[in-house]
């Protein structure tokens, strides 16, 4: 079982708020279809990562009015684990999004985007970095550059 380093309640509250913002920005960028978000976070001294998986369904026509569905308990698990990673200075991991193919790659294999978590900062990965981080488990996939999932005020790279 992971043993978290003590952090203040204010620090964790900020990390929790940021986790919800990250997930909201991620969900706001999704095209219609079935998507899966996976997150693995390892804390300092931990051998195996803690993981969370969130299935998302987007219904609509690719507009901001699309409906995004997620099972609440899985959404809460994802937000909590992401908040723990954002609050812990000695955490690392990867969050990746597996989405239906777009027309560019023929529609037959999923598209994967990844974000790297290190030292309480979640950063976008290029397609090459995503392939390196996730590639072993998702062989039949097209990797794409990740998009920003933070607020504009936090795009300067500051940690929570």
The tens digit of pLDDT for each residue in 45-55 reads 788 899 999 99
Q: What pLDDT, on the 0 to 100 scale, is given for residue 20? A: 95
Distances (CA, A) of 94 to 5, 61, 64, 125, 132: 20, 29, 27, 10, 11
Return the residue matching tokens 């937000």. Answer: 79
Tell me: pLDDT of 138 over 60. no
Return the domain boundaries, the chain: 9-152
Q: How far apart are CA 146 and CA 144, in angstroms?
A: 6
Region for residue 127 given its phi and psi (left: phi exceeds 0; alpha: psi -120 to 50; beta: otherwise): alpha
Q: Whole-model pTM?
A: 0.84
Q: How far apart are CA 80 and CA 34, in angstroms?
A: 22
Asked if 90 and 43 count as a contact pair (C-beta separation under 8 A), the reply is yes
Q: What pLDDT, on the 0 to 100 scale, is given for residue 156? A: 42
Tell me: pLDDT of 102 over 70. no
Q: What pLDDT, on the 0 to 100 scale, is given for residue 71? A: 93
111-118 vs 142-143, strand pairing mode: parallel
Quickly list DSSP for 19-44: HHHHHHHHHHTPPSEEEEEEEEEEET
The tens digit of pLDDT for each residue in 20-64 reads 999 999 998 888 989 999 999 998 778 889 999 999 999 988 777
């Amino acid at each position: 079982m992971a043993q978290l380093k003590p952090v203040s309640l204010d620090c964790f509250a900020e990390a929790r708020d940021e986790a919800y913002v990250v997930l909201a920005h991620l969900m706001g960028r999704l095209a219609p279809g079935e998507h899966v978000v996976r997150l693995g976070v390892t804390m300092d001294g931990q051998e195996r990562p803690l993981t969370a998986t969130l299935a998302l369904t987007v219904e609509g026509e690719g507009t901001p009015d699309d409906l995004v569905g997620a099972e609440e308990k899985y959404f809460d698990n994802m937000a909590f684990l992401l908040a723990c990673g954002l609050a812990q200075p000695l955490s690392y991991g990867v969050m990746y999004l597996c989405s239906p193919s777009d027309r560019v790659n023929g529609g037959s294999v999923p598209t994967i985007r990844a974000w790297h978590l290190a030292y309480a900062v979640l950063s976008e990965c290029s397609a090459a970095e995503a392939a390196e981080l996730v590639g072993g488990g998702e062989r039949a996939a097209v990797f794409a550059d990740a998009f920003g999932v933070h607020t504009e005020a936090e795009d300067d790279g500051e940690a929570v």
